[in-house]
Amino acid sequence: MENTLHFVIGIFGNAFALFLFLAPLITFKRIIKKRSTEEFSGIPYVMTLLNCLLSAWYGMPFVSPNNLLVSTINGTGAAIESVYVLIFLIFASKKEKGKILGLLTLVLSVFAVVAFVSLFALNGKHRKLFCGIAATVFSIIMYGSPLTIIRLVIKTKSVEFMPFFLSLFVFLCGTSWFIFGLLGKDPFVAIPNGFGSGLGTVQLILYAIYHNNKGETRKSRADGSLKMESSNGEKPSNTQDERV
């Protein structure tokens, strides 16, 4: 019964993780349409690629038995993130392209070192421990990336830049894999996803508090600009009126 529940929770975790990996599609549709990465950063996609590679490696049967579902979804995620990074490199400016290529080289080197050491220098529990620590560290880094957005929401009291469904799937994905790790008695799955579940919970709570303020930040800034112009005796332009 426990094994069946463990498998079912893993299937749910795979589904929610897939939604997370596909969330940036709208962003990349815009990049392709405008043929420019604009102000978007490619760093999160490169770091998520590393997390997926390490987690997929950790889930392999010769590293960590009974974690094949971890390997399959992260292998899929690595393929998706690779496409994102490739698109970003095609449309990025020369300066940004150089930065992302440098980071990508570092990421692939880190994964290569982890894979090589675990295969040829370690075995059994030591191999699992080494790969598990590496996967845990970068999973926490990936889940921690929304912390800047959380700070922005608290500062502006607006959820304009924190999409609801992204926050929801961070929570569902983290919670599913946290339970999966607990049932499988695997701290290297449970710990980082417990962290992700907690951050997802914080985001949903903030959304519940500030959801009525969505878009208010931009409007208040525009109102402030109009008031300043009025006090200076200037007539607001039609463009500003339209933005308000």
Q: Can you spell out the DSSP letters for 124-157? A: HHHHHHHHHHHHHHHHHHHHHTTHHHHHHHHHHT
User: Can you count the helices (H) and strands (E) in the chain?
Assistant: 11, 0
* 92 class by beta-carbon count within 10 Å (0-12 exposed, 13-18 middle, 19+ buried): buried
Lowest mean pLDDT among 39-43, 130-134, 207-211, 232-236: 232-236
> Whole-angstrom Cα distance, residue 10 to residue 183?
10
Nearest to 190 by CA among 182, 199, 201: 182
Q: Are 76 and 18 in contact (CB under 8 A)?
A: yes
pLDDT tier at 168, thresholds 50, 70, 90:
confident
Which residues make Cβ contacts (< 8 Å) with residue 14, sequence separation at least 6?
69, 72, 73
Lowest mean pLDDT among 21-25, 58-62, 122-126, 228-232: 228-232
* 15 class by beta-carbon count within 10 Å (0-12 exposed, 13-18 middle, 19+ buried): middle
> Whole-angstrom Cα distance, residue 180 to residue 9?
6
Give the tens place of pLDDT for each residue, 173-231: 889 989 988 988 889 889 989 988 998 898 899 888 888 776 554 454 444 444 444 44
Q: Are 130 and 117 in contact (CB under 8 A)?
A: yes
Top-confidence residue, 51 or 145: 51
Nearest to 115 by CA among 46, 189, 62: 62
* Mean pLDDT, the chain, whole residue set: 82
Top-confidence residue, 231 or 124: 124
Tokens (6 digits) for 136: 């845990």
Q: In one letter, which amino acid is 132? A: G
Is residue 139 predicted with pLDDT exceeding 90?
no
Is residue 11 predicted with pLDDT exceeding 60?
yes
Give the tens place of pLDDT for each residue, 80-95: 999 999 999 999 988 8
Q: Are 59 and 135 in contact (CB under 8 A)?
A: no
Lowest mean pLDDT among 38-47, 63-72, 234-243: 234-243
> Whole-angstrom Cα distance, residue 73 to residue 76?
5
